[in-house]
């Protein structure tokens, strides 16, 4: 009998079927990888298993017993623990303190018995082969060790099932090896480890079996030995070599708009021409956004230099913007929208110079121009005075596009421009990007959706570990080739 | 389902609850006050009420900008004291020093605001702690400057003019307050500074990404706050005369209460000078009602504190409801 099983597990969000009748089974003593593209339903499945959300229908059973989780505490009681990508440990406390956070060993009068906690922590760490000192301050530890503290916290709840959500996203190769050692010990101890990852090379290294999800459904569960990396990619994308809509050819005689030196692995400078759309392909955590931030002056350039039409690009965000390089954030909520403010104010935030006479705003002119651009983008909103926070994700993105357009970009860096947009809004955003390119704007497109990168880009640069490892003309490329390049599966699995 | 942009129905929408709340409260309080006392709706009584509110109201205009920016200015009470004392000392009872005194008082306010702004924008000090500390510093300076006793004499005509009524009806101090409000509203909605304050307050990270000069706007906002507190000190001096070395003591809390009542909460980017005016009036009518009801000063103080707590709780509740409704 499988340790963990789901029957027709379904979860519906408003307008989205996030998980569709999933029958999943995994055994004790295995490392079971769950793969899938963004939005395939991995996170929904894990959130259901860990009690963060409740199913719309279907059941979960542990050890043959049907369980129902109303809260994460219920899942913990059933022996399921989850380790998220973000650290939740407290740096100012010791390893032992963190492991038993919220479940402190209390002596008489409710005083915390630190010696008992330390002993219990040492015992726990030893049992799973984790080499950490219980009295070390978590803040003094490296990233991998902090990750292990998260493991230990989860294990301290007597978990039999440990869910790891992209545990290596922030780790270097050697740190990763350390982590894998611990995961193997867990497997030997009879735990079930559910391993979620985008990185195929890791999946092939650590997993015993692989389940692939796509569009909310479980499409296959295979033994690793019966799976090749190209087959896995095919299962994930659901497509054989898809016919690629060839993008318009670059017009000859366009000048080089942006030149980046010191960013490619082979030392060749990356040149972006006027009217060109360059896709940045890579996995989550590969460093695409970090490259964008470094161009935009949001973080130090660190050993690479940028030039705009031959002149060195300043390194202060406001001056980069003034020079005509506009960065559109991937995280609308964090540093994109001004939620309580009107659509108009949001649209003109980066171009107030043009709507002011000295210190005074020219409101009528602002309203007219913002309205014109927003209508061109087919914004759906009650009025120009509606707070942007009340719009849908796709419409918020259109307003951010309007902000970028009103700033009259020479180079536009779009980071996940269609995140949260529905199909219709996506098509409209694609049309805007194509039109801008036709008008001569150089565009860097970052997207986790490979089909998007393929449909829009003239060239595609592959990013791994914060550097560009290859630049390919987008002719005859498909998702498979791109995913292989992005994961490095090609080099790794030739031997497997 | 929402509509395409700029359809005629858009103009029929009512203002949202968070913007309307303080005005609704103001109307309810006015009705209550009218019921409680026949004298209330007499023009003299009303204008007198607004006159009383002038020092707090004028000061609150500046503080609104700081709070729109997610900041706070607890030094305004001390600036009011300083302004009143400096004005009286500079005037020294001479008619020719009238404008010099007014200029000196406003300049002092702006200077303290500049110090606040520079330290907050560039020193990355918490606005709460810094302006609290600054208020103690300023009180100390005022005590040192006066030797601890009420000194200075205002220019002849200063109090007489400010306390007169235009046409025998409208007090000059009320006009002073309304002009300050009008300047505030203009700054808020017609200038780059005002727009930048809203943008930075609503989302400082996005503002930085949009190339807005966050530090410069922060400094200007505290200068504006200090300047209006300086004007508030002049209004207080006109109302009460040279009445001590610390006439503005505790006024920062009245100002804070009024601004928060108006819906300019600590969340930033929400609220307005107009709403602050409504907040000022709500505060003073409530205190007036407490007075009419015969409550002692101590009880009024308690009411003031409860108003601050209740208003910020109500506004964050409304804000939470609004954002919950708009979440996907």
Mean pLDDT by 10 residues, chain B (328 residues): 44 60 88 82 86 96 96 96 94 92 96 97 91 95 87 87 87 95 96 96 94 95 98 94 86 92 86 94 88 85 83 76 49
Alpha-carbon gap, residue A415 to A339, rounded angstroms = 19
Q: Which of A335, A349, A350, A378 to mutate to test the interface with B (most CBs of B within 10 A)?
A: A349
Is the pLDDT at A243 greater than 70? The verdict is: no
User: Which chain A residue has its CA at the smallest distance from B200's CA?
Assistant: A338
- pLDDT at residue B185, as a whole number: 97
Residue A439: C-alpha distances to residues A199, A254, A307, A408, A427 (Å): 37, 11, 21, 11, 18
- Minimal CA separation from A397 to chain B, in Å: 14
Tell me the β-bridge partners of A263.
none
* Secondary structure letter of residue A277 according to DSSP: E
- pLDDT at residue A171, as a whole number: 66
Q: What sections of A128-172 are H helices per DSSP?
A: 143-155
Residue pair A273/A442 in contact (Cβ under 8 Å)? The answer is: yes
Q: Which two tokens stand for residue A476?
A: 């005859």
Q: What is the dihedral of CA A344, A349, A354, A360, to 10 degrees?
A: 80
- Minimal CA separation from B102 to chain A, in Å: 26
Contact B13 A380 (CB under 8 A): no
What average pLDDT does range A354-380 have in this prediction? 92
Alpha-carbon gap, residue B205 to A8, rounded angstroms = 43
Alpha-carbon gap, residue B125 to B69, rounded angstroms = 15
What are the strands, taking DSSP E only, across chain B? 165-166, 170-171
Residue A366: C-alpha distances to residues A211, A363, A412, A493, B42 (Å): 53, 5, 22, 56, 44
Alpha-carbon gap, residue B65 to B179, rounded angstroms = 17
What's the gap between Cα B92 and its chain centre? 28
pLDDT tens, position by position, A429-467: 888 899 899 889 999 999 877 778 888 999 999 888 888
Instruction: Show the CA angle centred on residue A40, arms to residues A35 and A42, nearest 5°.
Output: 55
- pLDDT at residue B13, as a whole number: 47
DSSP helix/strand/coil, A488: coil
Is the pLDDT at A325 greater than 80? The verdict is: yes
A382: nearest Cα among B15, B140, B236, B294: B15
Least confident segment among A42-51, A366-375, B229-238, B271-280: A42-51
- pLDDT at residue A495, as a whole number: 34
Q: Which two tokens stand for residue B221?
A: 């906002």
Q: Which two tokens stand for residue A399?
A: 């307003």
Tell me the β-bridge partners of A31.
A193
- pLDDT at residue B25, as a whole number: 87
Instruction: Give me the residue spans of the domains in chain B.
Output: 41-249
DSSP helix/strand/coil, A14: coil
- pLDDT at residue B96, as a whole number: 92
Contact A329 B209 (CB under 8 A): yes
User: Which chain B residue has its CA at the smallest distance from A388's CA?
Assistant: B326
- pLDDT at residue A496, as a whole number: 32
Least confident segment among A143-147, A258-262, B13-17: B13-17
Residue A438: C-alpha distances to residues A275, A361, A374, A429 (Å): 6, 32, 19, 14
Is the pLDDT at A358 greater than 70? The verdict is: yes
Chain B partners within 8 Å of A390 (Cβ): 325-326
Chain A residues interacting with chain B (CB cutoff of 8 angstroms) = 14, 296, 298, 317-318, 321-322, 327, 329, 334-341, 345, 349-350, 352, 356, 359-361, 363, 371, 374-375, 378-385, 387, 389-393, 403, 420
pTM of the shown model? 0.75
pLDDT-derived band at A250, boundaries 50, 70, 90: low
Contact A14 B328 (CB under 8 A): yes
Q: H or E segment at B218? A: helix B214-240
Q: Which residue has the higher pLDDT, A103 or A315?
A: A315
Closest in B6, B192, B207 to A384, CB measured: B6
Size of interface A-B (CB pairs under 8 A): 112
DSSP helix/strand/coil, A33: strand
Token pair 């796509």: residue: A214
Alpha-carbon gap, residue A396 to A17, rounded angstroms = 23
- pLDDT at residue B7, as a whole number: 41
- Minimal CA separation from A448 to chain B, in Å: 22
Residue pair A349/A304 in contact (Cβ under 8 Å)? The answer is: no
| Beta pairing class for A31-36 and A209-214 | parallel
DSSP helix/strand/coil, A37: coil
Alpha-carbon gap, residue A45 to A95, rounded angstroms = 30
Q: Which of B187, B191, B203, B214 to mutate to test the interface with A (most CBs of A within 10 A)?
A: B203
Domains of chain A: 4-237 (3.40.50.300), 256-492 (3.40.50.300)
Count of beta carbons in the 10 Å neighbourhood of residue B235: 25
pLDDT-derived band at A412, boundaries 50, 70, 90: very high
């Amino acid at each position: 009998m499988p340790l963990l099983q789901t029957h027709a597990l379904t979860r519906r969000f408003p307008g989205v079927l996030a998980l569709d009748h999933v029958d999943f089974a995994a055994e004790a003593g295995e490392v079971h990888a769950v793969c899938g593209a963004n939005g395939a339903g991995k996170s929904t499945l894990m959130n259901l298993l860990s009690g963060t959300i409740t199913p719309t229908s279907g059941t979960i059973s542990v050890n043959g017993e049907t369980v129902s989780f109303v809260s994460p505490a219920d899942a913990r009681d059933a022996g399921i623990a989850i380790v998220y990508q973000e650290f939740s440990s407290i740096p100012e406390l010791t390893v032992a303190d963190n492991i038993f956070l919220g479940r402190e060993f209390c002596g008489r009068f409710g005083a915390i018995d630190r010696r008992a906690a330390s002993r219990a922590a040492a015992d726990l760490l030893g049992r799973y082969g984790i080499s950490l000192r219980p009295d070390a301050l978590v803040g003094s530890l490296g990233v991998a060790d902090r990750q292990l503290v998260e493991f230990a916290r989860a294990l301290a709840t007597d978990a039999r099932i440990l869910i790891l959500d992209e545990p290596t996203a922030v780790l270097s190769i050697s740190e990763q090896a350390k982590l894998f050692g611990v995961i193997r010990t867990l497997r030997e101890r009879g735990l079930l480890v559910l391993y979620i990852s985008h990185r195929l090379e890791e999946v092939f290294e650590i997993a015993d079996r692989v389940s692939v999800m796509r569009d909310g459904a479980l499409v296959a569960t295979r033994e690793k030995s019966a799976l090749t990396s190209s087959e896995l990619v095919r299962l994930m994308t659901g497509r054989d070599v898809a016919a690629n809509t060839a993008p318009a050819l670059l017009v000859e005689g366009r000048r080089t708009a942006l030149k980046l030196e010191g960013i490619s692995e082979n030392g060749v400078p990356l040149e972006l021409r006027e009217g060109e759309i360059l896709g940045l392909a890579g996995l989550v955590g590969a460093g695409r956004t970090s490259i964008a931030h470094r161009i935009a002056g949001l973080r130090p350039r660190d050993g690479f230099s940028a030039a705009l039409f031959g002149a060195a690009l300043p390194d202060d965000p406001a001056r980069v913007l003034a020079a005509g390089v506009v960065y559109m954030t991937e995280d609308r909520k964090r540093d994109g929208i001004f939620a309580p403010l009107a659509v108009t104010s949001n649209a003109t935030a980066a171009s107030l110079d043009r709507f002011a006479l000295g210190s005074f705003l020219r409101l009528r002119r602002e309203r007219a121009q913002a309205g014109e651009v927003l209508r061109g983008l087919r914004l759906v909103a009650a009025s120009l005075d509606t707070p942007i926070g009340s719009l849908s994700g796709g419409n918020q993105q259109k307003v951010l596009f309007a902000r970028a357009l009103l700033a009259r970009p020479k180079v536009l860096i779009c980071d996940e421009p269609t995140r949260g947009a529905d199909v219709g809004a996506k098509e409209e955003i694609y049309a805007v990007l194509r039109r801008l390119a036709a008008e001569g704007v150089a565009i860097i497109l970052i997207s986790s959706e490979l089909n998007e990168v393929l449909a829009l880009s003239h060239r595609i640069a592959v990013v791994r570990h914060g550097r560009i490892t290859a630049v390919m003309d987008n002719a005859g490329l498909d998702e498979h080739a791109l995913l292989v390049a992005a994961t490095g599966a090609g080099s790794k699995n030739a031997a497997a | 389902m929402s509509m395409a942009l700029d359809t005629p129905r858009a103009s029929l929408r009512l203002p949202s609850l968070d913007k309307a709340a303080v005005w609704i409260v103001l109307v309810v309080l006015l009705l209550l006050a009218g019921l409680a006392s026949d004298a209330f709706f007499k023009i003299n009584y009303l204008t007198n009420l607004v006159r009383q509110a002038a020092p707090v109201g004028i000061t609150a205009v500046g503080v609104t900008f700081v709070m729109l920016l997610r900041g706070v200015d607890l030094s305004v009470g001390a600036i009011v004291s300083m302004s009143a004392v400096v004005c009286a000392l500079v005037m020294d009872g001479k008619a020719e020093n009238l404008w010099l005194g007014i200029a000196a008082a406003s300049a002092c306010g702006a200077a303290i605001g500049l110090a606040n702004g520079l330290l907050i924008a560039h020193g990355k000090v918490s606005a709460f702690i810094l302006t609290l500390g600054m208020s103690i510093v300023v009180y100390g300076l005022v005590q040192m400057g006066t030797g601890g006793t009420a000194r200075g004499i205002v220019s002849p005509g200063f109090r007489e003019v400010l306390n007169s009524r235009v046409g025998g009806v409208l007090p000059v101090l009320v006009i002073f307050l309304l002009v300050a409000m009008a300047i505030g509203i203009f700054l808020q909605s017609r200038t780059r500074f005002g727009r930048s304050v809203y943008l930075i307050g609503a989302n400082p990270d996005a503002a930085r990404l949009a190339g807005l000069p966050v530090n410069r706007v922060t400094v200007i906002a505290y200068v504006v706050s200090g300047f209006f507190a300086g004007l508030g000190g002049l209004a207080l001096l006109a109302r009460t005369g040279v009445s001590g070395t610390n006439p503005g003591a505790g006024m920062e809390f009245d100002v804070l209460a009024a601004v928060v009542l108006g819906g300019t909460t600590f969340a930033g980017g929400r609220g307005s000078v107009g709403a602050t005016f409504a907040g000022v009036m709500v505060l003073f009518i409530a205190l007036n009602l407490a007075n009419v009801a015969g409550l002692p000063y101590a009880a009024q103080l308690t009411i003031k504190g409860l108003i601050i707590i209740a208003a910020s709780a109500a506004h964050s509740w409304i804000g939470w409801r609004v954002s919950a409704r708009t979440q996907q």
